[in-house]
Chains A and B, each alone.
Chain A
Amino acid sequence: MKALRAYAALYLAFLYLPVLLLPLFSFNASHFIAFPLSGFTLQWYRELFADVAMLHAFGNSLEVGAVTALLSTVLGLMAARAVTRYRLKGAGAVLGFISLPLFIPDIVLGLSLLLLLGAVDFPLSLAAVVLGHVSLCLPFALTVLIARMQGFDRNLEEASADLGEGPWMTFWRLTFPLMLPGIAAALLLTFITSFDEFLLAYFLSGTEATLPVYIWGQLRFPERLPMVLALGALILLASVVVVILAEWTRNLGVSKKSVGA
């Protein structure tokens, strides 16, 4: 019991100590990332917000993340509907294929996408990054959405049709509100995944950098390191908020009995 607790403490320390160093050094008044700390400063944050290239990369990441989240959630919603509503032949195989990017190393995925885009003359761009990210994020969206959709009775949609509503209004008045927590969770999850992603973005972004790619580029300049730490600290904070939000929305309504009972 004691050993277990010590193990847990060690594990958490290993997991979070390096992460906590990030914000710590981002307030340290020295270019050198080393103890002892030399004093408190907001200089790195000031530099950060003055860095136009960084802000541009940040904007790119938001854009890619938002489009990716939207696309993978919409595609995921349609796939989840197809899988749960109709007895499709080969649905299992299709699902397996959709989930494949989860198991392929990112570097392989990146290389193959690079080759593919080259072959069809698709320019390396943020659009290319979105394509890569959607293939990466779709399985996540699908998993969350299928779980949510399996919980609800298909008689509900028939009841809506019976009460005079066509497919679109049924979706709008019934399916969408019932799926809303799942949709929100899928949006957040895929956004975060895309926002964090480095390898595919590095391969596919061409001249436009996303934030992780930009950070990678800055690591060559030691004097920029504290600013990167400040950026890292901010991203960390935002990620924690988003993950908590995602968990919260995913469980919304689920605790109140299963959907459609």
Chain B
Amino acid sequence: MAFLSVQKVSKRFATLAAADAVDLEVPQGAFFALLGPSGCGKTTLLRMIAGFAEPDEGIITIDGAVMNGVPANKRPTNMVFQNYAIFPHLNVFDNVAYGLRKEGLGRQALRARVEAMLGTVRLEGLDGRRSDELSGGQRQRVALARALVRRPKLLLLDEPLGALDKRLREAMQVELRGLQKSLGITFLLVTHDQEEALSMADQVAVMSGGRILQIASPRALYERPNCREVADFIGEINFFHATVKSVEGETVTANAGVLGLLSIPKPNFGFGFALGDHILLALRPERITLEGGTVAGEITAASFLGERSHYQVRIAGRGEPVFVAASGPAPPGAVMLGWNPADMIALPFGA
């Protein structure tokens, strides 16, 4: 059994299902991210794992032990709160030492343990500061140190980088990732930032409306989303309507209207389908070329983003623009959009 196992867990607030039959398996030592838009129930799920809320239905186990009914102070988890929740009446040292009372360490041992932890999160020398004398990034580290010093089996992080500016956030992403690898503690990170989830985690669960839509590695999520919502949430993507025309061996031929007939490898279909079925074909902007293709179009908007530029291209017979990401300058005049049909992701329509 997985290290953390969430089985058919539901939680309702009045009529709203904040968690709806959630299943989750997190292996030991993993860096697991829970990704979803605001209000989809991420915090609710994390709070049930930490023990601040009880599920209405379902079972949560950690390391084989059932957690339902176990109070938060008896669970082998620690949490980094979204607002950090640093104790305002204690200094940095006492904040980090707070959770070590039960270990009954002597003065020396306690000091050594706390100092070592402060070193790990690079907070040496700030022992005596209070929370209102720290920067956002330092507070985040105190919250992290306070949780990690207890050597939890599972560390829960609720949007720990949300309050930091972009530069610091990116630096902390690398640091957190390194820390997790070196300590070997299982991390469960909640975020609504897909880049953060993809860049840090081994496994990502995409959540929406209290449900888990897909659990996969970052690459698989990007390349093989299992539904329109996941494809849409993970990065920019173009959708084209199509119908299944024929299947020959490993190749499926689909009629994609303005794009014409497309031959798509059968493995790109992650679901069962029949001839004549209405499907969606999804294509990432960077998988489209502006030249040498077969579909004529006209650039209506362009934005230069350094190594890459984003274009909106209008093609005949399609209301919304096609998004294209390309390196190098755009060719003058009309463009001919091209792609490799093997890059087309087939998705069920209306799922």
Contact = CB atoms under 8 A, between A and B. Distances in A.
Interface stretch (A46-54, A57-65, A100-108, A171-179): A171-179
Interface string B83-109: 101011100000000110110000000
B87 A174 contact: yes
A155 B85 contact: yes
Contacts of A156: 85, 87-88
- Name the interface size band of chain A: 20 to 34
A259 interface: yes
Contact of B72 (A162, A173, A177, A178): A162
A203 B150 CA distance: 59
Given A153-B83, A159-B79, A177 B89 contact: yes
B81 A163 contact: no
- Name the interface size band of chain B: 20 to 34
Interface string B16-34: 0000000000000000000
B78 interface: yes
Contact of B101 (A153, A158, A164): A164
Contact of A163 (B51, B89, B131, B146): B146
A116 interface: no
Interface in A117-134: none
B87 A161 contact: no
B132 interface: yes
Contact of B79 (A162, A174, A253, A257): A162
B50 interface: yes
B81 A166 contact: no
B341 interface: no
Contact of A257 (B83, B87, B132, B147): B132
Interface string A247-261: 000000100110111
A160 B98 contact: yes
B81 A161 contact: no
Nearest to A178: B89
Given A155-B83, A158-B52, A166 B71 contact: yes
A227 to B, nearest CB: 47
Contacts of B71: 161, 166
Contact of A166 (B73, B85, B146): B73
A153 B146 contact: no
Interface secondary structure of B, over-half rule: mixed
A159 B132 contact: no
Nearest to B132: A257
A208 interface: no
A165 interface: yes
Interface in A201-237: none
A104 B81 CA distance: 46
Nearest to A153: B85
B105 to A, nearest CB: 13
B135 to A, nearest CB: 14
A158 B80 CA distance: 11
Contacts of A152: 88
A260 B88 contact: yes
Nearest to A174: B87
Contacts of B87: 156, 159-160, 174
B73 A162 contact: yes
Contact of B132 (A173, A174, A261): A261
A153 B82 CA distance: 12
Interface in B291-341: none
A261 B88 contact: yes
B78 A155 contact: no
Contacts of A169: 101
B253 to A, nearest CB: 56
Contacts of B77: 162
Interface string B108-147: 0000000000000000000000011000000000000011
Contacts of B147: 162-163
B187 to A, nearest CB: 15
A159 B146 CA distance: 10
Contacts of B99: 162-165
A257 B130 CA distance: 12
Contacts of B146: 159, 163
Given A177-B89, A256-B132, A261-B132, A164 B73 contact: yes
B98 A173 contact: yes
Interface string B47-81: 00011100000000000000000011100011101
A125 to B, nearest CB: 41
Nearest to A173: B98
Query: Among B73, B79, B146, which residue has the most Cβ atoms of chain A within 10 A?
Result: B73
A158 B84 CA distance: 11
Contacts of A259: 88
5 contacts: A153-B85, A156-B88, A162-B79, A162-B99, A163-B73
Interface of A: 152-153, 155-156, 158-166, 169, 173-174, 177-178, 253, 256-257, 259-261
Given A164-B99, A164-B101, 10 more contacts: A155-B85, A158-B52, A158-B79, A161-B52, A161-B71, A162-B52, A162-B77, A173-B98, A256-B132, A261-B131
Closest 6 pairs between A and B when the two form their complex, measured CB to CB: A163-B99, A155-B85, A159-B85, A161-B72, A161-B73, A257-B132
